[in-house]
Structure formats: structure tokens, C-alpha cells
Chain A
């Protein structure tokens, strides 16, 4: 598995030059946008519901210690073992140690973004443990040796033609045809044996329910239950912000999460897992471990508590014009798109990731579609300000912005410069578009600029004309 390499700029250039990526992204995110819009339209008070969902999450964040203690108490009473990890290294060590203690040779895993965040696939590989991804998209990218490019559709960057090639090459029994249904059938056959050969099953959690000590998974394939039920050991890895007060709150949030993610009323399988096998049970794991991970979340309680509301629905990715152009790998972290550009600087440091908050048009779409009303544009602006104050921007950029500020603070000079620049820019236009412009190759290399009008907005207003 190879993580995206190069600088942000290099990854973006590579993505923008990949026409097939654009096709794949538009097919997946376009479908997602249409389905979400239909689901939201059928809920007339959706705006009020968003506010109510935000309040539910804010409630559990406000009383996080109280609810985490309650969750731990109830989970322990169910026979679960609860582990705490400050950072990814601690979390991975706990998981690997449990696997080693169980003499695990093969682990199955159902999709968990927290697992990606903490680098669990690498840790398992490092310990010589065979990992089988069971979610279809994760299976696809495992075969391709890639990381996820979307938090709901990890293989959003892959077209059906790509998938056909991968399955033909890797599946023991090749797909009978290359339509989507036949390929899904091929993956079903391929993974069936692994579900039962695994010693350990690893899942994430969409919610941690304080009132019962259960963790909730939401999936549509059924792979989570086949991952967590047959093996001897079930390990859950979850961020501490997944805590909610009750089963009722979890279900209420699920209504918005699923509509925002896939447009369904409820995903096929909403499952609560509470402890290991009970007396009389014919199936279920002998051991049930829950690894609760901080990794910057306690700092976010002070710095950006609203971000802890995030349900990981992916709606902000599907509606982001930047994500739709460059895809997930260009972002370089586990979480792409607007939510990723807010989270990655928390996890990896702002100095290394300062490009991400800048890769945003601030058009506000992400906030508009967020089911828990996270002010993502405000947070991205916050990171930009922090980056500027800390001096992380390159000298050339700082000089250019200072130059622009010099003109912007002097309106007459600004207008004079504009009066010179606009006609000059028009000289470079062909057929209404500028495809090459001195000093602006960074822009024109991947897209064209519209030919500007002959005069500025202000000038034409002053003349009494229509701009």
C-alpha cells in the first residue's frame, strides 16, 4: 500500500492531468449529490433537523468525560475490554499486541477511517499479520495497492473499467462479466473464505453509546457483521468524539448521516455490538476489545469543538468543487476534502499541511450540506490566519500579497493598475478565453481564464451603464 507522495502542488498537477480521474469522481460524487438532494427534499424541516443534530453532538461533547466514563463502565460490564490510546503509535501497538496474543495470522477489517488515520494497515503489515479488507471499495484499493480517496467511497477514483482489470488480475475466480453486478458477485466469492479463516476481525465505530456500552456500525454490504462475528476476537478502533449519550441519540444522528452520505433513509445494516459471546450464543467473538483514541481530539475541544461533531458522511467532499477536480489522494492525508483540510493540520501539523486550507474557494457549499452544520469555511480561514501569523507562507507569496494589499489600500492606484491590466489581459485572449498568461501559468496550466471585460465594474457603474 503506497500513500500519496510528492508535494501538494505535485499531487494536484498529477490529478488535474488525469482525465480518467475526473470521469470516476464525477460518476460517484454526481450520484451521491443527486441522491442526497432527493432525500433532503423529502424532509421539509431538514434545516431544523441539522440544528437539532448539531445540538445532540454538542451535548455529548460538552459532557464528554461524563459520557466516556459511563460508556466504559457499561462496556466493561458487558465483558468488553476497553483500552485508551493518546496517539496513533499507542493505538496501533494495542491492536497489534491483541492480535499477537491471539496468535492471529489473518485479520479481516471492515472500513474504518480511524484505522486509516492511525496507520493501522501499515502497523499490521509491520507485524507480519495478513490483512484482508472486506468492504468492496477497500478490497479494490487493497488490490491496487492504494489508500482510500474518499471517506465513504474509498475507490471513488477508480472507474468500473479499472475495477474489472484488477479483479481479472487478482481474483481466484475471475468475474463472469464486467458489469457492476457481476464484479460485486466476484468479490463476494473471493472474500467469503477469508471471513471464516480470520482469527481477528477489526471494525471502526460510527457511535459509542454511553447508555449501553455498545458500539454502532453502519454499513450496506453486510461485511462488518461477517468481519466481527466469526473470528475469535473483535477489535474496535474509535475516536473518542464518537461518544453519544444514548442509543436514541445514535439513531437520530443516523437519520441525517445516512441521508447525507448515500441518500438512503437508513443504511442496510445498523448494528450495535455489545461485548463478547454470551452463554448460549451460537456465534460471536470470545473477546471484544475497544480501543479509544485521542490523537488531537482533546485539543480540538478548545480549538475547534464544532469539528468534533463530524459524522464522517462525506457530503462536504461530494459538493466541494476542489475535491471534485483533484480527488482525495491529492490531499495527502487520511481525510480529504473540506473536513480533511480542517482535520489534517490537527493530526500532521499546520506547517506541513498549510496548503490544504488554501485549496478552497470558500464558496460555502460544504457548510450548507453538512448534516451537523460545522462552519467549515470559518475553520479553513482560521487555519489560513494561523499559517500567516506563524510565517509558514513562502516569501514570494507573502511579498505578492503585501503588494496586492498596497494597491488595495489605495483605491485610485488600484483603479489605475486595473485600467492598465484589463486591456493588456484582453490581448492574450482567443475566442473569449485566455489559455496562457505571463506570471499566471500556475492558473492557466490546468484551466483557462475568461476574457475580462474592457473596463472594470466600478468604471462602468460610474458611466451609468450596465456592468
Chain B
């Protein structure tokens, strides 16, 4: 017998009962609901405030700023570049909503978007698909307009986040995702890369970005 058949035969021997898929599904649903009832109360009336508080908490360690519109992103990038003394060249996630922004008009810096993403890229600018307020997580679904490595190679990752796409809980993301095609990668990014592998002490910038800056727009 093949390994696959052997394994399934052993499982069925130990668990011979066969339930109907509908009853399994309702049992699974009941499990999720039971977990939801245990969660600490979460004030969903101010998701931006909640997300900001979580993501800028010491243990998450990102920085956040608010702007009025996505068209204000070039200005925010220019400020970030100046504050962190970065070169004006940066890798831009190939999302048309970002590429059509007026980067050349940003005040204070001659920004040059479109540098290729390299293993030593200093800054990449991206757009999140959404955010999760409970944990301060950014959501990315990989695809032609959102390659995975934009969130992992640069030292600084600056991400635009539409306030309208914030959702309260991890469970809300699961519901949201169930209505979309399953991407190759779902990346839930919660703060800058870090490690506690030496004596349990937190150090930033292990392999992924050492700095995560989030620009929330309406």
C-alpha cells in the first residue's frame, strides 16, 4: 500500500465514525463562535485609533501618520526620506494606484520611485489591502501588483493603508478573505522584523524591514 493509503487507513481505524459534511461544518462554526465569546472587549467605534495604538505599541514597534488622501502619500514619503536621511530612490510596489501618484511634485525632496527591488534596497513603498485593528496587522495578498518580497527585502517599508479597509478582528479578516480568490501568499505583517533569539531580548531588523512606517489615509 502507498504511504497515503496507509496513513488514511490508520486514521480511519482510530476514528471510524463518519459525519455528514454539513454537521462537520456546523460543528466547526460552533467552535469559532465559542472562541469569539472569550475575546477581550474591543471598541470598534474607532478602528483607526485602535489600530494606531496597537501598531505603535512598543512590542509592535511601527510608526504611524495620518494624511487626508492617498494623493498625500508622496509628501509623506518625502518627509520620511528626509527624517531618516535616505536616498530619494525607492522601490515602488507595482500597484497602479501608487504608480499614478504625482511623485515628482512632492515638496522637499526629488523623489525617484521605480528603483528595482534589490537585496540591499533601503526603502520600498507599498499599499496594504487592509488592516486588522485588534493586532495592528497589515494585510497583503500577493499578485502581479503586490509581489511578496516588497515587504521583506527593504530596510524601511513604508505602507499606505486606507482607513476604510480596517477591520476589527482576525475573524473579520477570515470572513473578508473567504470572499476573494486565495492568493499564493497572504502576508499579515505586524510591525517591523525582530528577533528575540539571543537571550530573549528583542532586536529589530533581523531579516525583514527594521522599520515599518504606516501612512493611514481616508
Contact = CB atoms under 8 A, between A and B. Distances in A.
Interface of A: 24, 27-32, 42-46, 48-49, 52-53, 55-56, 59, 62-66, 68-69, 78, 84-86, 90, 134-137, 140, 153-155, 158-160, 163, 180-181, 183-185, 187-188, 191-193, 195-196, 211-214, 220-223, 225-226, 229-230, 240, 245-249, 251-252, 254-255, 262-278, 280-284, 292, 294, 298-299, 301-302
7 contacts: A65-B15, A68-B11, A184-B195, A264-B190, A265-B60, A270-B190, A301-B14
Contact of B15 (A191, A274, A301): A301
Which of B147, B175, B188, B205 has the most chain A CB atoms inside 10 A of its CB?
Answer: B188
Identify the interface centre among A62, A69, A270: most chain B CB within 10 Å of its CB.
A270
A270 B188 contact: yes
Interface stretch (B63-71, B80-88, B160-168, B206-214): B206-214
Contact of B35 (A53, A135, A264): A53
**Size class of the contact patch on chain B:** 35 or more
A277 to B, nearest CB: 7
Given A55-B31, A278-B143, A265 B136 contact: yes
Contacts of A280: 143-144
B110 to A, nearest CB: 26
B148 A284 contact: yes
A278 B184 contact: yes
Contacts of B185: 225, 229, 271-274, 284
Given A180-B201, A265-B190, A276-B184, 18 more contacts: A31-B196, A45-B37, A45-B40, A49-B38, A55-B31, A84-B4, A184-B205, A195-B207, A220-B193, A225-B151, A229-B148, A264-B190, A266-B190, A269-B193, A271-B185, A272-B186, A294-B3, A298-B14
Nearest to A28: B200
B175 to A, nearest CB: 8
A197 B183 CA distance: 26
Contact of A223 (B94, B199, B206): B206
Contact of A262 (B178, B196, B199): B196
A45 B37 CA distance: 9
Interface in B150-181: 151-153, 170-171, 173-175, 177-178
Contacts of B183: 274
A254 B15 CA distance: 26
Nearest to A23: B199
A301 B11 contact: yes
B38 A45 contact: yes
A137 B200 CA distance: 11
A269 B38 contact: no
Closest 3 CB pairs of A and B: A222-B208, A31-B200, A280-B144
Contacts, number: 278
Contacts of A158: 198
Nearest to A78: B182
Contact of A48 (B38, B54, B170): B38
A195 B189 contact: no
Contacts of B19: 63, 66
Best-surrounded residue of B39, B171, B200, B206 (most CB of chain A within 10 A): B200
Contact of A281 (B11, B184, B195, B201): B184
A264 B134 CA distance: 12
B52 interface: no
A65 B178 CA distance: 23
Contacts of A53: 35
B84 to A, nearest CB: 16
B50 to A, nearest CB: 12
A268 B208 contact: yes
Contacts of A55: 31, 34
B197 A155 contact: yes
Contact of B207 (A24, A59, A180, A223): A223
B149 interface: yes
B198 A136 contact: yes
Contacts of A212: 182
A284 B189 CA distance: 18
Contact of B7 (A30, A160, A240): A240
B174 A251 contact: yes
Contact of B191 (A64, A223, A268, A284): A268
Contact of A42 (B28, B40, B60, B194): B40
B77 interface: no
A268 B206 CA distance: 11
B101 interface: no
Contacts of A135: 197
Contact of B40 (A31, A43, A86, A270): A43
Contacts of A63: 15, 19, 24
A180 B174 contact: no
A42 B134 CA distance: 13
Among A90, A226, A245, A248, find the residue whose CB has the most chain B CB atoms closer than 10 A.
A248
